[in-house]
Amino acid sequence: MKLLKLTMYLIIAGTVNLQCTSEQKTGNREDTNDREPSDAKEKLLTTNDIRIRDPFVLADSVTGKYYMYAQMDNRLGGRGNPNKPKGVEVYVSSDLEHWEYPETVLLLPEDFWGRNMVWAPEVHAHNGQYYLFATITSYDTLSHLKRPEGVTEWPSFFKRGTQIFVADSPMGPFKWFSNESHTPTDWMALDGTLWEEDGKPYMIFCHEWVEIIDGTMDYVELKKDLSGTIGAPELMFKASDAPWVGERSSYVTDGCYLYRTKDGVLLMIWSSFGAEGYAIGIVESESGKLRGPWKHQDKLLFHKNGGHGMIFRNFNNQLIMTLHQPNSPRGEERAKFFKLEDSGNTLNLLEIN
């Protein structure tokens, strides 16, 4: 009789445990991907279906697929909402026109240092692994920062920085090295990207205008496994150095991405605000190294209400730039793809797909 009771107890307990496990897994999916009916996930999305800011495409030669990474807030509308999941998701495509329904690659836990906003995710294949760079913003503020004298309205000094995560696959899941940003924790920093020079990895990032008024581009050496930084950041240039930004009360640096031309010229594309709104400029390193000095080219690569671009080659070896447009109004942003020409000393826009 005791044996029978024990057997019945184990069966009931196992059934309850299975039900609980199923509910937890379902709950996780509902918090991230299953905002659409299940049949919607079986349909391919077009590029125009996808609201996205700061698009980044990894053309992965291992899988033969394009991976476009996006902050989850683009789709879920959770900007600044602590009750919404925070993280990064990916859309997968074979042709840059049709995309699978997004899958979560990074989901930040409740006790993570920053759960206000996640911006500008990008993924790089490096030394056999995949590294996600993302800008993380906390609800906590930097108490040592003060708004400019005589100014009554100024953005909050939120803790903000770029952090690097690692995975074995472009589909994640990405894991953090530590619960803090790679950029200085007492800075407001964003939009970090990866560059390798003389066998050493570096992160190039933006020191935000909210903190210093005239935003800058900086770089810092990374450890070989990208788990941390080596030394202090070095200044590359200030936003106000670019003639095309004009005279302003503050100067934005956004969306840096580096590219070496067929003639060996080191270029950076980056975004700020010009005469016709959000734009992409080109700046050239006169030494061919990160140390510069950096000279701004006169011609804008993209000039009207769109930016935060990056560059990749498709599987036909065509050079492509993607960016988001329009920059405003919010909610209308879409990824745009442009063919580029590498002329040796600069980049030229060829056509809009």
Statement: residue 350 has pLDDT above 60: yes
Statement: residue 38 has pLDDT above 90: no
The residue that leads in pLDDT, 32 or 3, is 32
- Report the pLDDT value the prediction gives residue 247, as an integer from 0 to 100: 94
- Report the pLDDT value the prediction gives residue 10, as an integer from 0 to 100: 37
Q: How confident is the model over 270-323, as pLDDT tens digits? A: 999 999 999 999 999 999 999 999 999 999 999 999 999 999 999 999 999 999
- Report the pLDDT value the prediction gives residue 352, as an integer from 0 to 100: 54
Report the 10 Å Cβ neighbour count for 137: 21
Report the 10 Å Cβ neighbour count for 35: 14
Tell me the helices (H) and strands (E) count for the chain, helix number first: 3, 22
Q: Which of 87-91, 151-155, 188-192 has the lowest mean pLDDT?
A: 151-155
- Report the pLDDT value the prediction gives residue 79, as an integer from 0 to 100: 79
Q: How confident is the model over 59-77, as pLDDT tens digits? A: 999 999 999 999 999 999 8
pTM (predicted TM-score): 0.89
Task: For residues 271 and 255, give the distance between their C-alpha atoms in angstroms, rounded to a whole number.
Answer: 6
Q: Among candidates 85, 89, 115, which has minimal Cα distance to 104?
A: 89
What would the two tokens of residue 270 be?
A: 């980056």
- Report the pLDDT value the prediction gives residue 80, as an integer from 0 to 100: 73
Average model confidence (pLDDT) across the chain: 90
Statement: residue 5 has pLDDT above 50: no
Cross-strand bridge partners of residue 351: 339
Confidence of residue 29 (pLDDT cuts 50, 70, 90): very low
Q: How confident is the model over 224-259, as pLDDT tens digits? A: 999 999 999 999 999 999 999 999 999 999 999 999
Confidence of residue 32 (pLDDT cuts 50, 70, 90): low
Task: For residues 153 and 13, give the distance between their C-alpha atoms in angstroms, rounded to a whole number.
Answer: 59
CB of 80 within 8 A of CB of 8? no
- Report the pLDDT value the prediction gives residue 81, as an integer from 0 to 100: 81
Task: For residues 213 and 51, give the distance between their C-alpha atoms in angstroms, rounded to a whole number.
Answer: 30
Q: How confident is the model over 217-231, as pLDDT tens digits? A: 999 999 999 999 999
The residue that leads in pLDDT, 107 or 12, is 107
**Span 87-109, mean pLDDT?**
98
Statement: residue 1 has pLDDT above 80: no
Q: How confident is the model over 164-213, as pLDDT tens digits? A: 999 999 999 999 999 999 999 999 999 999 999 999 999 999 999 999 99
- Report the pLDDT value the prediction gives residue 16, as an integer from 0 to 100: 34
Strands 129-141 and 158-167: antiparallel
CB of 87 within 8 A of CB of 70? no
Please list, residue by residue across 256-271, b when 16 or more beta carbons sit within 10 angstroms of its beta carbon and e when fewer do. bbbbeeeeebbbbbbb
Question: Which positions ≥6 away from 291 have C-beta within 8 Å?
Answer: 234, 285
- Report the pLDDT value the prediction gives residue 82, as an integer from 0 to 100: 79
- Report the pLDDT value the prediction gives residue 36, as an integer from 0 to 100: 54
In one letter, which amino acid is 188? M
Confidence of residue 78 (pLDDT cuts 50, 70, 90): confident
**What's domain 39-352's superfamily in CATH?**
Glycosyl hydrolase domain; family 43 (2.115.10.20)
